[in-house]
Amino acid sequence: MRILKFGGSSVGTTAAIRQVADIISEKKKDHHLAVVVSAFEGVTDALEDAVVKASKGDEAYLNILTDLEKRHNNAIKELVSIQNQSHTLAQFKMMFNELDDVLHGVSLTRELTDRTHDFVVGFGERFSAYIIRQFLSDTGISADYLDARKVIETDRDFGSARVQFDKTYPKICDYFSETDSDSIQIVTGFVASTSSGESTTLGRGGSDYTASLISAALEAEAIELWTDIEGIMTADPGKVKRYFVIPHLSYEEAMELSHFGAQIIYPPALQPAMKENIPILIKNTFKPEEEGTRISNQSIPGESIIKGISSIDNITLLTVKGSGMIGVTGISARLFGALADAGVNIILITQASSEHTISLAVLPAQTKVAQSAIKKEFKYELRDNIIDEVKVENDLSIVAVVSDNMRRKPGISGRVFQALGANGINVVAIAQGSSERNISIVVDRKNETKTLNTLHDAFFIANVKTVNLFLVGVGLIGGKLLDLIQQQAQKLLDDYHLELKLAGVSNSKKFLIDDEGISMVNWKERMMAEGELADINHFIDQMSDLNLSNSIFIDCTASDEIASSYSNVLESNISIVTANKKANSSSLATYEKLQRLAFKHNVAYLYETNVGAGLPVVATLKEQVLTGDDVMRIEGVLSGTLSYIFNTFDGSSSFSEVVRTARDKGFTEPDPREDLNGQDVGRKLLILTREAGLKLEFDKIDIQNMVPEKARDVDTVEEFFDILEEHDDEFTKLFEDAASNNKKLCYIARYENEKATVQLEQIGSEHPFYGLDGSDNIVAFKTRHYQKSPIVVKGPGAGADVTASGIIADILRISNAPSFREEI
Ligand SMILES: NC(=O)C1=CN([C@@H]2O[C@H](COP(=O)(O)OP(=O)(O)OC[C@H]3O[C@@H](n4cnc5c(N)ncnc54)[C@H](O)[C@@H]3O)[C@@H](O)[C@H]2O)C=CC1
Ligand SMILES: N[C@@H](CC=O)C(=O)O
Ligand code: NA
């Protein structure tokens, strides 16, 4: 025997009821069935509303009745064949009249007892079971109507009646043994009756309870709870987008998940079935082919370590502490006794190992009651100051990670806290259930969703992890970055389960933030249509308000303003990847502050492309320093633009033309004067010295400026080029001078013996930099470990492709942090 139960949404429309009939006729091929049904969706609430209104003399209850009658009559007309319709309508009318009479009585007496209330709200199930039974018979499925009041007996505590198991089970057994087993019993959910036949109801989870009782009495092989969702999810779909259906849960896991907010089943209602080890299946009426969730004591092979993550979004934490708590036996017993007496429901308890403090979580509505219960119980201890005033912390959430496996697998909590730390989530309190079946974490309410997502990503690693990108500056480099991400998207997804999502974008005119993601193809049209006026502070505020896990801020501007807002980004626990050199080359204090902030907030601050574009220059130097090496000299060609210019310029075309070509190839800064005046190279040298641990300021670098005086202050780049043209001959002369010495021009940055210089030099063929080609950069680090033969990094050091790939490399460094992908 299998017990099927269809909830309100599964019988909400006649189309749904037809679907139910299909499921039943399919199932009955292989099983004996009993079917429990809820009232049509919304009917119980309507009955409740009507009876309350009637008791207040509000005539509007009559309208509710009219609607209810119409709805059920229409269902009969749509579902039941013509020849059976009038009989069914008449039978229904009789039941309905009974309801009508009671409500009329209530409206006259203006009195609503729990007993009448129970009687009225149970009508919905009687109506639906009756109509469904008629419909099934009509379609050729042999079915009987069973009013559960006949078989389920409760005490007389109307409103919260308790089932009398010793009476109920035999009644169910007797009833079923006397019925024709080929006929399916269509049972009214939710309703029961006292020994003298007065109607009662089974409370929350009512129809589930009915199914559970019948299954326990008949020792059914399984219960199937048919609803409008596909099963129990790994997390609340409203908060975690990448949830999925949990294939299997133990009874204890199901209870634990429900305790912490997953409202799919009401475990007390399923207790009778669990006691008899009857498997419970959660299935979707509208997608019957889906597997759903199975709750049983038989685990399935290959189950994930964690089953689900749930949360309670608003709780208050009360902390009791004081010297009077140490080593005094019975304090917790008194505390919890007092709270129990006051009717306080304690959701979570943690005790410091020092025994000095006990914290407990309660629902906000119970804070006051709990506080005064504690005050009363510890009146003398409070007076004598051996227990402090109760500390109250509001606006907190509890997130619980649930699994049976915790008892067997070490390291789960390590993984939880590593993932939280990596996302800058502050943990207010921690508790592990005594069952060792859950770890509960108390966090600020504003971090609830982020915590859920972070943990979901950390544990369900077979699933995709999303990294949320917030890009500021979509010019040459930013634009190329978006192209490259799209190009790599499939591979990253397939090989690394990584989705790079554009969650925010800004150019100098507008910005747009959308946690659902912004298309990397038509971001611009959307941003210009829907976006707000560009404002970096608003951008950062909205980005941090979203509080998404795995967020990275990417700066592809050359802007000082953007650079000066990095500290706000890091303080919002968001990592930064930047191609912009302005922050790292401003004051030493700023550089150091940003490093400190990143460390403090446990986020990444990466800027490989600041020097040598995609070449691994910064990373190489960082590693050397971290391994204890000392940098003695830094020497290099650090400008792709200037390298290209002096590798190409041979007098055959004018100097200004070569500079234009460098710009067109995407090597130059937005303003090429920044390259020619040595500022860009100076910044890079400064950044390298800082990475090497040297404390240098920009003004200590001696820089040779190659921009003609007249061109330095003109407003536009075009004006600059016009003036540069006038000076072409001077550059030709420089080239010819060098050539006459068998040398070539090379713009070299150098740091040695506390001296930093950036200058144009003539170098001969013996010089290691002589053979540079195109936009090549070269940098040589002479260190204590590498004195005779310095470490050299060489290759194209400017251009959109190499720079964009360098930025992606930084993004991947952050995304693949161990907390995200580590297996236990
Ligand atoms: N071109 C190259 O080979 C390399 C460039 N870089 C760096 O990459 C950065 C970008 O360079 P490009 O893309 O060539 O410059 P670009 O001028 O093509 O793009 C910069 C974009 O940033 C936007 N922008 C400026 N201020 C803004 C603000 N306040 N808010 C939002 N957007 C703003 C501009 O409108 C422009 O579209 C620069 O910092 C550059 O030094 C780094 C390594 C190599
Ligand atoms: N303009 C720069 C670009 C890289 O930082 C260069 O030419 O090297
Ligand atoms: Na680099």
Residue 621 neighbours by CB under 8 Å, 6+ apart: 631, 688, 691, 692, 781
pLDDT above 70 covers a percentage of the chain that reads 96
Average pLDDT, the chain: 92
Class of residue 29 by CB neighbours under 10 A (exposed 0-12, middle 13-18, buried 19+): exposed
**Strand, helix or coil for residue 746:** strand
For residue 260, what pLDDT is reported?
63
Give the whole-angstrom CA distance, residue 798 versus residue 776. 8
* pLDDT-derived band at 355, boundaries 50, 70, 90: low
Point out the ligand 1 atom lying closest to the alpha carbon of residue 775: 3
Strand-pairing partners, residue 744, are 763
- Predicted confidence at residue 659, as pLDDT, reads 98
Instruction: Count the helix, strand and coil residues of the chain and give each as a percent rounded to the nearest 5.
Output: 45, 20, 35
Per residue in 548-561, pLDDT (tens digit) is 989 999 999 999 99
- What's the fold here for domain 2-228? Carbamate kinase (3.40.1160)
Nearest atom (ligand 2) to Cα of 644: 7
pLDDT per residue as tens digits for the range 246-260 = 899 988 888 877 766
- The pLDDT of 444-468, averaged and rounded, is 85
Cβ count within 10 A of residue 476: 17
Distance 55 CA to ligand 2 centre (A): 81
Total-model pTM: 0.67
- Set 501, 684, 744, 794: catalytic member: 684
Query: For position 498, what pLDDT does the model report?
Result: 87
Q: Who lines ligand 1 at CB under 6 A?
A: 472-478, 506-508, 534, 536, 556-559, 561-562, 579-581, 609, 613, 640, 666-667, 669-670, 798-799, 803
pLDDT at 354: 63
ipTM for this model? 0.99
Q: Is 612 helix (H, G, I), strand (E, B) or coil?
A: coil
Known active-site residue 379: no
Question: What are 665's two structure tokens?
Answer: 């190839």
Q: What is the pLDDT, as a whole number, of residue 404? A: 78
Instruction: Please compute the mean of the pLDDT values over residues 479-491 and round it to a whole number.
Output: 93
Question: The sheet that has 438-444: what strands, in order across it?
Answer: 348-351, 357-362, 308-321, 391-402, 438-444, 427-432
Q: What is the pLDDT of residue 817?
A: 41
Report residue 807 as tokens.
């930025």
Instruction: Say whether pLDDT at 267 is over 90.
Output: no
Of the listed ligands, the closest to the CA of 614 is 3
Structure tokens that stand for 326 in this block: 């140490």
Instruction: Answer whether CATH 3.40.50.720 is correct for domain 465-606+813-820.
Output: yes
770-818 pLDDT per residue, tens: 999 999 999 999 999 999 999 999 999 999 999 999 999 999 999 864 3
> In the predicted model, is pLDDT for residue 696 greater than 80?
yes
Atom of ligand 1 minimally distant from the CA of 511: 31
**In whole angstroms, what is the distance from residue 250 CA to residue 229 CA?**
19
What Rg, from alpha-carbon coordinates, does the chain have?
A: 37
pLDDT tens, position by position, 639-690? 999 999 999 999 899 999 999 999 999 999 999 999 999 999 999 999 999 9
Pocket-forming residues, ligand 2, beta carbon under 6 Å: 613, 639-641, 667-669, 675, 680, 797-798
* pLDDT(263) > 80: no
Strand 575-578 versus strand 605-606 pairing type: parallel
Q: Where in the sequence of the chain do the CATH 3.30.2130.10 domains occur?
A: 308-459
Dihedral (C-alpha) 102, 107, 108, 112: value to the nearest 10 degrees?
A: 70
Cα(610) to centroid(ligand 3), Å:
6
pLDDT in tens, 584-629: 999 999 999 999 999 999 899 999 999 999 999 999 999 999 999 9
Residue 264 predicted with pLDDT over 80: no
pLDDT of residue 821: 35
Give the pLDDT band of residue 820 (cuts 50, 70, 90).
very low
Residue ranges, comma separated, of all CATH 3.40.1160.10 domains in the chain are: 2-228
Predicted local confidence at residue 823, as pLDDT: 35
Which residues of the chain are in CATH 3.30.360.10 domains?
Answer: 617-798
Centre of ligand 3 from the C-alpha of residue 668, in Å: 16
- What integer pLDDT is reported at residue 514 of this predicted model? 95
Answer yes or no: is pLDDT of 824 > 70: no
Residue with CA at minimum distance from ligand 1 atom 6: 579
**Residues contacting residue 462 through CB under 8 Å, at least 6 positions apart:** 304, 497
- Closest CA relative to residue 2, chosen from 190, 185, 228, 253: 185
Q: What is the pLDDT of residue 65?
A: 98
Alpha helices (H) in 633-727, listed in sequence order: 640-648, 655-664, 673-676, 679-691, 717-726
Percent of the chain with pLDDT over 90: 78
What angle do helix axes 617-626 and 679-691 make, rounded to 10 degrees?
A: 30
Query: What spacing in Å lies between the alpha carbon of 639 and ligand 2's midpoint?
Result: 5
Tell me which of 127 and 307 has the higher pLDDT: 127
Retrieve residue 225's tokens.
């709870």
Q: In what order do the strands lie in the sheet with 143-146?
A: 143-146, 184-188, 33-37, 2-6, 222-227, 280-284, 293-295, 248-249
What's the CATH fold of domain 617-798?
Dihydrodipicolinate Reductase; domain 2 (3.30.360)
Confidence at residue 160, expressed as pLDDT on a 0 to 100 scale:
80
* Structure-token match 């005790």, residue found: 351
CATH of domain 308-459: 3.30.2130.10
- On whether the CB atoms of residues 517 and 503 are closer than 8 A, the answer is yes
Helix, coil or strand: residue 247: coil
Residue 819 scores a pLDDT above 50: no
pLDDT average, residue stretch 704-720: 97
Residues forming CATH 3.40.50.720 domain(s) in the chain: 465-606+813-820
Output phi, psi for 686, to 5 deg. -60, -45
- The position carrying tokens 């069935």 is 33
The protein residue with its alpha carbon nearest to ligand 1, atom 43, reads 613
Counting ligands in written order, which one lies closest to the CA of residue 622? 3
Nearest ligand 2 atom to alpha carbon 674: 1
